[in-house]
Amino acid sequence: MKKIIFFITSAVVGITLFVGVILKVGLPSIWQTIVDFSFAKWFVILFLYALAFFITQYRWYLILRSLGQPVKLSQILPAKIVGFSVDYITPSPNVGGEAIRAMVLKKDAGVPLSDGLASVIIDKLMDFSYALPFLLFSIFYVLIKFSLSWKLIAGLLFISLLFIFLIAFFYYRTLRARDFFGSIIRFFQLHKLSFVAKVMDKIGAFELIVIKFFRHDRRTLYRGLGLSVLGGIVTLSAMWSIMLFLGLPATFLDVILVSTLTVVTFLLPIPGSFGSTETGEALIFSLIGFSPESGVAFSLIFRSVDFLKVVIGLLFLSHFGIKIGQTLFSKAPPQANGNGQNGHPLTTPTEPVK
């Protein structure tokens, strides 16, 4: 019930933001900007986003192969696009689809849930690791370029330091064969909660797999990071193309700022970041010297491609017999089996992590 209330509340907040920015900027000017965007231009954007999507799909494929799972590229496509769809429509900070990806992968390719969850976590960590420099650069550029209140400055600095600490702490713990997620859970005493205590061993199971990957398969790690950079370049090219097609003389720095804001808005607990992205783009476009209606139009064009992926993902979700209501509001995530030792390097009786 609480999840339903939270979903409805967050959706209402998003709709309110969306209606507010449309009324503020003006629907006629936004609509005219979108109408002038031809289908041929939209197809170019669709191609670039599809290319970026398949690059990251191949990265996940390499990770799974590294974990000893002989999957085919065609087998992981449904799981990836379903995961994106669930991420998009759930009011969670870009983490709602991970368990669903593992579930679909198990149904379609027979990959154990522990390996599936571990591969998804590794995949996400590569995304965050590559994106962190762009995020920090954008934050510090905004701090230097624009006059901001001290509260906003403090907030941006806090976010920057938090991201730096978490990424550095993850690699520090993982490369020394010690648990990262488990240590955070214990630090905040969350393991004393009954529902958390029940899954501590399962968290240890997939964290062991993550540790082994980062410590012993550097070749796949570097290839994965390289693919992350390549996928990011293609995504930035798509965003740049939208801005150029809208008649905006955008620089590479402008694209970096817009892409960073887009990522940040997708971390907000609003389904599809509906309303928050449009509001944010209107503001950032105004700051960098473009019209707010072009920012909203940019967001809607960007969203149209995402919406197509969501529709395809929901069709796959139905194909695998997973109900959307169950996906959004179920109480229990997928289960994985395994062990992890609190506070010590993670090991199993038969295969120690060296």
Tell me which residue of 64, 114, 60 sits closest to 82, measured CA to CA.
60
Pseudo-torsion of CA 21, 22, 28, 33, nearest 10°?
Answer: 70
Task: Give the model confidence (pLDDT) of 330-341 as tens digits.
Answer: 554 444 444 333
Give the tens place of pLDDT for each residue, 73-91: 988 999 999 888 888 888 6
Task: Say what the pLDDT of residue 351 is.
Answer: 40
Asked whether residue 340 is assigned to any structural domain, the reply reads no
Whether 349 maps to a domain, the answer reads no
Range of the domain at 89: 2-329
Residue type (1 letter), 142:
V
Q: Assess if residue 159 is contained within a domain.
A: yes
Q: Is residue 179 part of a domain?
A: yes
Question: Which residue carries 């449309």 as its tokens?
Answer: 22
Does 59 map to a domain? yes
What pLDDT is stored for residue 327 in this prediction? 53
Q: What are the CA-CA distances from residue 281 to residues 8, 74, 297, 303, 331 (Å)?
A: 24, 35, 9, 12, 34
The answer to whether residue 52 sits within a structural domain is yes
Pick out the chain residues at pLDDT < 50: 332-354
In a domain, 38, yes or no: yes
Quick check: is 151 in a domain? Answer: yes
Please state, in angstroms and rounded to a whole number, the distance separating the CA atoms of residues 51 and 61: 15
Q: How many structural domains comprise the chain?
A: 1
SS3 96: coil
pLDDT of 233 reads 92
Reported as type and span, the H/E element at residue 42 is: helix 39-66
